[in-house]
């Protein structure tokens, strides 16, 4: 299954699918996990309290501030992908499905990735 976007919703659904034993690949156009937050204005924090923003299976540490700064959240997303062993493909431009195959009723999608998919724990060593 392909999950488009590596933000909070994309990571959450990918983690749930992974726990159900369903292979999922997260594709995101940014250079690294969490960049959808890192690239926003400097003083941004979440506008709702930390207790309503937990990701599945791995809540925020109790030491996190009530309103999480954007870079702390981005770093948490990156560590979440690694801890949950999610498949994440970065630098992948938005793409649309090519066609639905009639014989199997499934979509085929061509991704224009600039690198191969790896688990986040191996991503740091890639170019």
The full set of domains in the chain, from first to last, is 2-123 (3.50.50.60)
Q: What is the pLDDT of residues 30-47, one digit of tens each?
A: 889 998 889 888 898 888
Mean of the pLDDT values across residues 3-23? 94
User: Closest by alpha carbon to 91, among 34, 31, 33?
Assistant: 31
Q: What is the pLDDT of residues 54-84, one digit of tens each?
A: 999 999 999 999 999 999 999 999 999 999 9
Q: Does 97 have pLDDT greater than 80? A: no
At 89 the pLDDT is 87
CA distances for 83 relative to 56, 80, 100, 113, angstroms: 12, 5, 34, 24
User: Closest by alpha carbon to 46, among 65, 60, 31, 32?
Assistant: 65
At 41 the pLDDT is 87
């Amino acid at each position: 299954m392909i999950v488009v976007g590596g933000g909070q919703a994309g990571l959450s659904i990918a983690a749930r699918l992974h726990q159900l034993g369903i292979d999922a690949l997260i594709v995101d156009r940014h250079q690294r996990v969490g960049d959808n937050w890192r690239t926003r204005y400097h003083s941004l924090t979440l506008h709702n309290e930390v207790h309503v923003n937990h990701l599945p299976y791995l809540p925020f540490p109790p030491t996190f501030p009530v309103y999480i700064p954007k870079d702390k959240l981005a770093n948490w997303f990156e560590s979440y992908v690694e801890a949950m062993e999610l498949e994440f493909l970065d630098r992948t431009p938005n793409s649309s499905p090519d066609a639905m195959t009639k014989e199997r009723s499934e979509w085929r999608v061509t991704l224009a990735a600039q690198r191969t998919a790896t688990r986040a724990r191996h991503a740091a060593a890639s170019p």
